[in-house]
């Protein structure tokens, strides 16, 4: 059992928001909870697997916010076969379900989407892409896009560049493997994936597990040529692929196509909160986190024409590891929780009518 979860677990309700997909709502409180925080983890995560979930659960117990943790088709070991369009379509489906559920129970409420790591890519993808998505990928012809509902708030925690993380591995090595061994595995994977893509087989070609595990990926996680190329984006920064949203060398022109589109898509009622982990193991030491945040803020706020960026609460979480899962993370976890609570309080003040706020205080 994780050291961050209490013995006996925490009570809640398992909701089916689709035939084969679920979301778990923590309910260990007698407080009326019309508002919802929907949480999406990173690569390899699933229901409640992100380490600091329990800290959020306890912090929200006395509030009017309930916490949902979402299961997606790409959860757990399936991330190597997934893609952001499907993720955000399923997230939209979950939000529709939660909206209907809270409407029936409380007459409605606010919804905030929070992502950790690659969950942050889902959050940004949700906010900036055409609504609904305007194409059906050849490798996922059964995907049925739906119009994504407007959300009240959005939080990105530990947004990292998979491409830069891989280059960090190539420079430093990984888990006892030398940099040269990792480079050999990387070069082999790039060659296989690009050959598959050139022949139109990138969607159904699985990379050899013996080679992906020789790089840095778990030996039990299959990865398609398509998802690998999206994550490592070998033609970046000139032509970043779908997953390459957070690299420090992405140009302002490219950021205008992602962060800069949030205002135009108008899917966010309040502000965007961004909380990188201050000591993230997946971020190379050559990356200036504050400089990257400044570039993102410039794009989000369109050089000051809008005020979508939450300048009051955004910023690196001091001393935080990637998922705040190390033994010394009590302080960073508390800091993270306080930033999230401040954000939610600000959202309520900004979006709830004065009469409603007075009645619920």
Beta bridge partners of 268: 151
HSE (CB half, 13 Å, CA atoms) of 325?
11
pLDDT per residue over 243-301, tens digit each? 999 999 999 999 999 999 999 999 999 999 999 999 999 999 999 999 999 999 999 99
Q: What is the largest CA-CA distance in the chain?
A: 64
Round to whole Å and give the CA distance between 123 and 102: 21
Distance, in Å, from the CA atom of 233 to the CA atom of 149, rounded to the nearest integer, reads 30
Rg, Å, the chain Cα set = 20
DSSP string, 251-300: -HHHHHTTGGGHHHHT-BSS-EEEE-BTT-TTS-TT--HHHHHHHHHHHH
- Res 355: pLDDT: 43
The pLDDT, as a whole number, for residue 117 is 97
Residues of the chain with pLDDT under 70: 1-8, 202, 354-361
pLDDT score for 3: 53
Instruction: Please state, as a whole number, how many other Cβ atoms lie within 10 Å of the Cβ of residue 326.
Output: 15
Three-state DSSP class for residue 105:
helix
Peptide bond into 7 cis (omega under 30): no
Q: Specify the DSSP class assigned to residue 207.
A: P
- How many Å apart are CA 234 and CA 190, to the nearest integer? 8
How far apart are alpha carbons 243 and 223 in whole angstroms? 14
Domains present along the chain, CATH in parentheses: 12-161+246-360 (3.40.50.1820), 164-232 (no CATH)
User: Which residues are CB-contacts of 267 (< 8 A; sequence separation ≥ 6)?
Assistant: 126, 127, 131, 148, 149, 150, 151
**Could you tell me if 88 and 129 are in contact, meaning their C-beta atoms sit under 8 angstroms apart?**
yes
- What is the spatial distance between Cα 95 and Cα 97, in angstroms, rounded to a whole number? 5
Please classify residue 275 by burial: count the beta carbons closer than 10 Å to its beta carbon, then call 0-12 exposed, 13-18 middle and 19+ buried. buried
Q: Is the backbone of residue 9 left (phi > 0), alpha (psi -120 to 50) or beta?
A: left
- Count the neighbouring beta carbons within 10 Å of the beta carbon of residue 222: 17
pLDDT of residue 309: 98
Peptide bond into 333 cis (omega under 30): no
């Amino acid at each position: 059992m994780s050291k961050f979860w209490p013995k006996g677990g925490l009570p809640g309700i398992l909701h089916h928001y689709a035939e084969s997909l679920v979301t778990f709502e923590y309910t260990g409180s007698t407080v009326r909870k019309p508002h919802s925080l929907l949480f999406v983890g990173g690569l390899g995560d699933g229901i409640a697997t992100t380490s600091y979930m329990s800290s959020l659960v306890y912090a929200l117990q006395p509030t009017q916010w309930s916490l949902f943790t979402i299961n997606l088709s790409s959860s757990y070991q399936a991330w190597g076969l997934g893609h952001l369009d499907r993720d955000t379509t399923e997230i939209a489906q979950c939000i529709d379900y939660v909206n209907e559920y809270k409407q029936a129970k409380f007459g409605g409420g606010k919804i905030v989407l929070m992502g950790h790591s690659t969950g942050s890519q889902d959050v940004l993808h949700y906010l900036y892409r055409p609504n609904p998505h305007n194409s059906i990928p050849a490798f996922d012809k059964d995907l049925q896009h739906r119009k994504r509902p407007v959300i009240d708030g959005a939080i990105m925690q530990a947004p990292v560049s998979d491409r830069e993380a891989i280059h960090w591995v190539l420079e430093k090595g990984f888990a006892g493997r030398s940099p040269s061994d990792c480079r050999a595995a990387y070069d082999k994977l790039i060659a296989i994936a690009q050959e598959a893509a050139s022949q139109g087989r990138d969607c159904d070609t699985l990379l050899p597990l013996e080679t992906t595990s020789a790089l840095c990926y778990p030996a039990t996680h299959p990865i398609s040529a398509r998802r690998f190329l999206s994550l490592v984006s070998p033609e970046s920064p000139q032509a970043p692929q779908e997953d390459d949203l957070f690299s420090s060398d992405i140009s302002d022109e490219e950021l205008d196509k992602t962060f800069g589109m949030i205002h135009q898509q108008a899917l966010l009622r309040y502000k965007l909160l961004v909380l990188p982990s201050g000591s993230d193991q997946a971020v190379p030491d050559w990356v200036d986190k504050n400089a990257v945040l400044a570039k993102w803020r410039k794009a989000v706020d369109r050089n000051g024409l809008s005020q979508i960026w939450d300048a009051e609460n955004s910023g690196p979480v001091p001393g935080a590891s990637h998922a705040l899962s190390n033994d010394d993370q009590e302080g960073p976890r508390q800091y993270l929780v306080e930033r999230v609570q401040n954000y939610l309080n600000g959202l309520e003040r900004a979006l709830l009518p004065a009469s409603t706020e007075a009645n619920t205080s």
